[in-house]
Amino acid sequence: MVHYIRFLRTPQTDVNPKTIDVSAVVAVTTDLGDALYSKDLELIITVVEANHPHGVLHTDTAMWQAGSRALKLKVNCHGKYRSRSVRLHVTTKETLFALKMLDVPRIVDVWSVTFPLNEKQRTEPIVERQFFLPNRSRLRMWEETGDSIARHIWDAGLGFLLYFAQALSSSPSPGVSTFAALLKSNKVRRLKVLELGAGCGTVGVAFAQLVKCDMVLTDLDDAQEILASNIKCASPLAGSTIKAEVLDWTSGLGDSSNAKYDIVLVSDCIYNPDSSLHLVEILRQLATRTPNLLILVGFKRRHEADTIFFERMQKTRFEVKESINIPLPHTMTDQDTDAPMAEFYTYTFRPATDD
């Protein structure tokens, strides 16, 4: 399982005569929040100056114990730092090393919002995750601390980062070669890419930071604010553009957008059998407009119902060109029998005239 350091309570400051205390409560859990990290883990807690990411004002460590459900953190900053704008970063030694190596870490660390070292108010329930892509660009993703499906980062999105790294490598493995060939053949032209159910935008933003493209991130209305924040923080490749739009699969494409795309990306969107059927219909409408459309579906298998999507895709004349399972970074627990995988399927559409 990939684990994520989460704030159960976001940072709060307490001003004392000589120190300023920053406290928070964290847990180390999976993306669904259904399993806690089950081993001892040393957490590194750093108070960093907001405008100088290397300006460390205070560092401390705390032990997440096997069997913990939550861990209270408290660091005492020197009183001379009063009123400075800071962020709280909670990480592990291994995570810092993985990020330095441009790897996706098996424990994803967390950055708070900026807050002044004098305010007693708890910071907003929103945090930043950071990853580094193969071209060394930093992927910054804001997500909510609560249980929202859309405003939250999912394992499959991290699987896509590994997929893109393979597709862009000098020797792409067989399961990614169709996608890799499309990227290679379009070095000059800007690819037109659509992401469906983009959530926070991990997949689409990462793609636009790696490949020259016009990226349209779509999701329901309630994901638009977090998408806008993440587009604002993005570092698209020179020549790339990123924008967000509302696209509800249940409403269909409509006539308003006649845009044609080269690639459609779909990450972790097939868990609900009802909306899966609408999703396939949207894909059919898109593929009918653009005969050579390549669709990349990635997900982490969690439910029996996931198969409904694949059955409907087959019935709707979509063909799997290639598939691959990519192991996610993980810590094996006693309950795990296999390493967790992100599964990827590359689809093209077979028009009815083929018969």
The residue ranges that bind ligand SAM (CB under 6 A) are: 149-150, 153-154, 156-157, 197-199, 202-203, 219-220, 223, 247-250, 267-269, 275, 278
Say how many CA atoms lie within 13 Å of 96 toward its Cβ.
Answer: 11
* Residue of closest CB approach to ligand SAM: 199
Instruction: Quote the DSSP letter at residue 134.
Output: T
User: Residue 56 corresponds to which tokens in the numbers above?
Assistant: 């460390």
In whole angstroms, what separates CA 320 from the centre of its chain? Answer: 25
- For ligand SAM, which is the closer residue by CB, 203 or 287? 203
CB of 224 to ligand SAM, least distance (A): 10
Instruction: Quote the DSSP letter at residue 262.
Output: S
State the CB neighbour count (10 A cutoff) for residue 226: 24
CB of 216 to ligand SAM, least distance (A): 13
- For ligand SAM, which is the closer residue by CB, 73 or 324? 324
Q: Rounded CA gap, 282 and 141, in Å?
A: 27
CB of 343 to ligand SAM, least distance (A): 13
CB of 316 to ligand SAM, least distance (A): 17
Q: Rounded CA gap, 318 and 348, in Å?
A: 6
- For ligand SAM, which is the closer residue by CB, 57 or 279? 279
Q: Rounded CA gap, 121 and 118, in Å?
A: 9
CB of 149 to ligand SAM, least distance (A): 5
- For ligand SAM, which is the closer residue by CB, 150 or 231? 150
- For ligand SAM, which is the closer residue by CB, 278 or 289? 278
191-196 vs 263-267, strand pairing mode:
parallel
Q: Rounded CA gap, 322 and 177, in Å?
A: 8
CB of 351 to ligand SAM, least distance (A): 25
State the CB neighbour count (10 A cutoff) for residue 291: 10
- For ligand SAM, which is the closer residue by CB, 7 or 160? 160
